[in-house]
Amino acid sequence: MSLSAALDRPAATAVPTSPIEIRPLTAGQGRGRLGAEVLGLDLSRPLSDSDFRRIHQAHLDHHVLVFRDLRITPAQQVEFSRRFGPLQIHVLHQFALAGHPEILIVSNIKENGQPIGLGDAGHYWHSDLSYVEKPSLGSMLHAQELPAEGGDTLFADQHAAYDALPEKTKQRIAHLRAEHSYLCKYEELRARSPWRPKLTPEQIAKVPPHVHPVVRTHPETGRKALFVSEHFTTRIVGLPEDESRALLDELFAHSTRDEFVYRHRWQAHDMVFWDNRSVMHLAAGTPEHLRRKLYRSTIEGDAVF
């Protein structure tokens, strides 16, 4: 079901949830429009259409929503995520939460000598699932167990990054397309990480590369954003290899400048919902001796043209 259809369908009940407050993050936490806190959301009760519309609009306005003190079950996370669209199942199915294949466990914890989740997720700047035909609309990441230090997540506003490009660069990249591949950094990460499993032939077959515009137009707001990342973008189609690499390196460096970035310092029971059409993200890293576990659900977006 499309997001527009989800917005138009009748609510399961007319009973409102508890009062919801949406607060843009302060200048000390984020810059410009990037990031807002959502307080008072109670997903143990049905979410009314009016509250859903407020959350949806805040997501479009601020790109990153931080739901504070959200005490929910995995089933409630899946149900809330589905209000925005169909959910995507990660190719690393071995790290899916038992009983909830829509949830990817992001964790550095080992049990019986084996990792319970993907421990190095977000090592490079990226937009989730940019390598599939219909890249992700957004991701929800719910904190289950947090380290005493480290574990921050950084978000970079790709609308602001595009707007700040020189006009000459905007003209140069206006009609360029780039290839995205899940395998781009996979073996490099496997070589340094105890968490990454070897992909089976069946898993590799599920993630063929896809080509998308370098400049993406947001399907709901019409705003332009850069849509390339160091993690998944392999080349710019039609350019010589050296020219492609030079341009990508230039765009990668520009897109994550400090003025575009919000650093999220996790608090207990936070759930962060970001727009993969508007931002990239990066895991700042967790000390190996400290435990970290989060549950991620990912919402399917639209094909990019």
Q: Which two tokens stand for residue 141?
A: 């990441």
Q: Is 281 a catalytic residue?
A: yes
Catalytic (active site) residue 126: yes
Query: Can you read off the two tokens belonging to residue 200?
Result: 């089976």
Within 10 angstroms of residue 247's Cβ, the number of other Cβ atoms is 20
Q: In whole angstroms, what is the distance from residue 161 CA to residue 53 CA?
A: 27
Task: Tell me the two tokens of residue 220.
Answer: 């709901």
Tokens representing residue 89 in the block: 């199942």
Q: Which of the following is catalytic: 62, 63, 281, 292?
A: 281
Q: Contact at 8 Å (CB) between 153 and 264?
A: yes
- Catalytic entry in 59, 180, 264, 296: 296
Instruction: Name 161's Cβ contacts closer than 8 Å, sequence gap at least 6.
Output: 225, 226, 254, 255, 256, 257, 260
Question: Per the residue annotation, which of 128, 157, 270, 275 is the catalytic one?
Answer: 128
Residue whose entry in the numeric block shows the structure tokens 């109670």: 42
Alpha-carbon distance 141 to 272, whole Å?
5
What are phi and psi for residue 95, nearest 5 degrees?
-105, 15
Distance set, CA 203 to CA 43, 93, 207, 297, 299 (Å): 34, 9, 7, 19, 20
Considering 59, 62, 90, 126, which one is annotated as catalytic? 126
Do 210 and 180 meet the contact criterion of CB atoms below 8 Å apart?
yes
In degrees and rounded to multiples of 5, residue 239 shows phi and psi of -105, 150
**Is 175 annotated as catalytic?**
no
Q: Give the type of residue at 183.
A: L
Measured CA to CA, the distance from residue 300 to residue 286 in angstroms comes to 28
The answer to whether residue 128 is catalytic is yes
Among candidate residues 142, 163, 135, the one with its CA nearest the CA of residue 75? 142
Query: Active-site residue numbers?
Result: 126, 128, 281, 296
